[in-house]
Structures are given as structure tokens and as C-alpha cells.
Amino acid sequence: MISLSVNGTAHSVDADPDTPLLYVLRGELGLNGAKFGCGLGQCGACTVLVDDRPAFSCLVPVAALAGRKVRTLEGLGTPDRPGVLAAAFEAEQAAQCGYCIAGVIMRAQALLERNTRPTEGELRAHLAANLCRCGTHMRILRAVRRAAIAMGGGVRESAR
């Protein structure tokens, strides 16, 4: 049995230690926010937070998570009571197919928890690891800017 904390709840799972966290979240814990895209750490669809930092859950073996804090999209809110970022993404209609969005939101959450006043350059560099094949990047950026304002900050222009 492997113990891990997800969204503040302790779980024990009967899994091979090398099982990717993504498989445990989706297959064992029923948390389907994080998505399987590439399985290679190249797309970001599976992004969750581990100790408040973005991580590709397709690459993290579940055995590496003892004593660490995992957070997923489900930990940020519900459809009825969405978190700040989810509400901003909805307001900006930032999803097309939506497959990448949970991962994008988790990566943006990590940034805004650390700094609600990033520059535009910092925002773009931070989100670069998460791909959107529909090409809604400009709407995604608008949504994160909106969320930053809602959190009491705002995205600043980068120095030229």
C-alpha cells in the first residue's frame, strides 16, 4: 500500500510503486481532471501540483509522493462553486475542446499563488509547458489575466 495526500485527503492505494500518479488519480481515486495526452512530459494535459509546484503526473511515480501534497483541479472548486481560475476561464470562454484546460489551470494556479502580479513575459514563459491543440492560447492568456485581477493583482506589461 502506498499512502498519499490528494486535495487534503489521505489515501492508501494498492499500486505498483512505479505507477504514474496520473493513473492513480484517474483509475484509483476517480479524479479525472488531469488528462492523459502524450504520457511523455511534453504536453502538460496531466499537470497537477505537487507541494505547490506544477508537475507532469504522467511522469511522477506514485512511490515518490509519500509525505508530499498533491493537488488537482478538483481541489480548486466544483462546477457549482468554481475556483477563481475556472470562473475566469468560463468568463473568457477559454476552452474549445477543453482537454488541456485542467492542466493549464493547475499551472496558472501555481504561478498566481506565488505572484498575483507577474509580467506578461513571466506569464507566457510559465504557461509555455502546456500545449493547446485548438489554439485558444490568446483566450487562455486573457483568462489568467482576469483571474490575476480577481485575486487582487494583475498581469503587468513586460519591460521592452
Q: Which residues pair with 71 in a beta bridge?
A: 49
Least distance from C-beta 153 to ligand FES, angstroms?
Answer: 28
Least distance from C-beta 139 to ligand FES, angstroms?
Answer: 21
Q: Which of 5, 11, 23, 39 binds ligand FES (CB under 6 A)?
A: 39
Backbone angles phi, psi at 14, to 5 degrees: -95, 90
Backbone angles phi, psi at 121, to 5 degrees: -65, -40
Residue 44 near ligand FES by CB under 6 A: yes
Stretch that binds ligand FES, among 2-10, 32-40, 110-118, 150-158 (CB under 6 A): 32-40
Which residue spans within 7-145 are E strands per DSSP? 9-13, 47-50, 53-56, 69-71
Residue 99 near ligand FES by CB under 6 A: no
Least distance from C-beta 95 to ligand FES, angstroms?
Answer: 17
* Residue indicated by cell numbers 504557461: 127
Count CB atoms within 10 A of the CB of residue 52.
11
Residue 61 near ligand FES by CB under 6 A: no
